Amino acid sequence: MNYKLLCSDLDGTLLATKSDVSAFAVSEIRRIKEHMRIILVSARMPKAMYYIQQDLGILHEPLICYNGAYILHQKLELASTEIPIEQIQTIYGMAHSLEIDLGLYHKDEWYVPSDSERVQKEIRYTKSAPVFKGTKATIEDWKTRTIGAHKIMLMGTKESSDLIFPQLKETLGDYLNLYRSNDTLIEIAPKSVSKLSAIQQLLKGDEALEDVIAFGDNYNDIEMLQNVGFGVAVGNARAEVKAIANFVTLDNTEDGVAHFIKTRL
């Protein structure tokens, strides 16, 4: 297999644990990075990805953050697509009535209204810390700064998430991508961008999608895996992701990405 770019999702895919790449993955990526561009593609914020880039020795490569809504190259902003403040207010109104908290992300800023077990997990997993601030106050501040969100995370219960998800689809589905990360979490991103569109923006003149091999595990990886030269799902991926992949490797906890690289690249 000869590819010019390797693009990989992080959580549930490249990361063997909740927060780190294994020594095996580091060694395999460092082995191939001289003849292949390695680009991390994630829903994470930039500072939750830099330490992984550093471990892999690829700080010189671009980063695709927030499912494609924010693209950086060595901290130089290449592209930025935000959820407008009016839509944030609509989401807040719907979520507040169901006692669902919002995590609001803009560039390297992360705001949550209060501490919780879910927030503490995110801090541990991403090695990043939020600003604790009421959502209404954050929205007012963002209005003054004329900025929007690169990502919104809704943090509720299974019951409240089940209720709000179809409501969000009906109200804002034409403008926003909505993903169920799990039973209690809903990720919201601008619909005009995706992991695939971000990869397309980063292709050089002698590169095409056929030159890309990509790895993923979740719904927000499907479009990417379907349209690149070769799409690989990890063994723990959702059934829908494995169904469209060209190949299914081992689980992320078994270093499926590194195992594939070692045996096939």
pLDDT of residue 75: 84
Same fold, 5-80+193-264 and 85-190: no
pLDDT of residue 1: 77
Q: Report the chain (265 residues): mean pLDDT per 10 consecutive residues.
A: 95 95 98 97 97 97 98 95 98 97 98 95 95 98 98 97 97 94 93 97 97 96 98 97 98 98 97
pLDDT of residue 210: 98
pLDDT of residue 181: 83
Rounded CA Rg of the chain = 18
pLDDT of residue 180: 87
pLDDT of residue 182: 87
Q: What tokens appear for 50 in the block?
A: 């830099």
Q: What tokens appear for 114 in the block?
A: 């209060």
**Domain positions in the chain:** 5-80+193-264, 85-190
Cα separation, 31 vs 11, in Å, equals 22
Structural class in CATH, domain 85-190: alpha beta
Cα separation, 188 vs 104, in Å, equals 10
Q: 11 CB contacts (<8 Å, ≥6 apart)?
A: 18, 42, 43, 44, 125
pLDDT of residue 243: 98
Helix intervals (H) in the chain: 23-32, 47-56, 85-97, 117-126, 135-145, 158-172, 195-202, 222-227, 239-244, 256-264
pTM: 0.95
Considering only CA atoms, which of 189, 198, 180, 166 is closest in space to residue 83? 189
What CATH number does the domain located at 5-80+193-264 have?
A: 3.40.50.1000
